[in-house]
Amino acid sequence: MEQLRSRRTLIIGGIVGVIVLGLAIWLILWLSFNGLWPIARDIALVALAVVTMVPLLALAYAVLELARTAQSIKSELVPLLDELKATTHSVADTARTASEFTVKPTVRTASFLVGFQQATSVILGQGHARRTAERRRRTREEAAALRAMEERTAAAREEDLVADGLMTPSSHDNMPQTFNGVGESSDDYR
């Protein structure tokens, strides 16, 4: 059905093309025999000028509309940008004021208190040496507690192995040594 329609369209188009070509040839011959080529040329130039004026007028109208639209956007955008600039200045002033009245005094006060605390600890003798000695004492106590716990765990493991029959009580000397957490063998402290 589609092929029949397309074939029919081609046939009709071909017939119309032949008719138009025949009319063009007839017109050329008629103008030539009657000597009307100068008149035909003038008519064609006038028609071409009229046809050219239509897009030119449309283009001029489009340029005018574009200029009018740009003017409208400018009249709406300029006040908006001025308002945005005023808001930006207001926010900057607010931030500056907040910094001057809240942040700077707070930082000054905090730095004064830290300096006062350091000066007091130096004057009253509660300084670096005492804290270092206390830290070392705590580290030694933690190491001793860890060592005692490891020794209890090793003894419990040995008792379990002896109870299971996997080890005899005399093979204790062959067990690997545990570490005291500092990187030294626990045998160094016995």
Q: What is the pLDDT of residue 23?
A: 93
From the CB of residue 51, how many other CB atoms can be counted at a distance below 10 Å? 9
Give a yes or no: residue 75 inside a domain: no
- In this structure, are residues 179 and 185 in contact, taking their beta carbons and an 8 Å threshold? yes
Q: What is the pLDDT of residue 59?
A: 93
Give pTM, 2 decimals: 0.33
Give a yes or no: residue 153 inside a domain: yes
Give a yes or no: residue 175 inside a domain: yes
Give a yes or no: residue 59 inside a domain: no
Q: What is the pLDDT of residue 170?
A: 57
Give a yes or no: residue 101 inside a domain: no
Give a yes or no: residue 18 inside a domain: no
- In this structure, are residues 187 and 177 in contact, taking their beta carbons and an 8 Å threshold? yes
| Calpha distance 83→31 (Å, rounded) | 73
Q: What is the pLDDT of residue 188?
A: 47
- In this structure, are residues 31 and 40 in contact, taking their beta carbons and an 8 Å threshold? yes
Residue 79, token pair as written in the block: 């006040």
Counting the structural domains of the chain, the total is 1
- In this structure, are residues 178 and 157 in contact, taking their beta carbons and an 8 Å threshold? no
Domain around 139: 127-182
pLDDT in tens, the chain (190 residues): 778 788 888 999 999 999 999 999 998 888 888 888 888 888 889 999 989 999 999 999 999 999 999 999 988 888 888 898 989 988 888 888 877 888 788 888 888 888 888 778 777 766 567 777 888 999 999 999 999 998 898 888 888 888 877 777 655 555 555 544 444 444 544 4
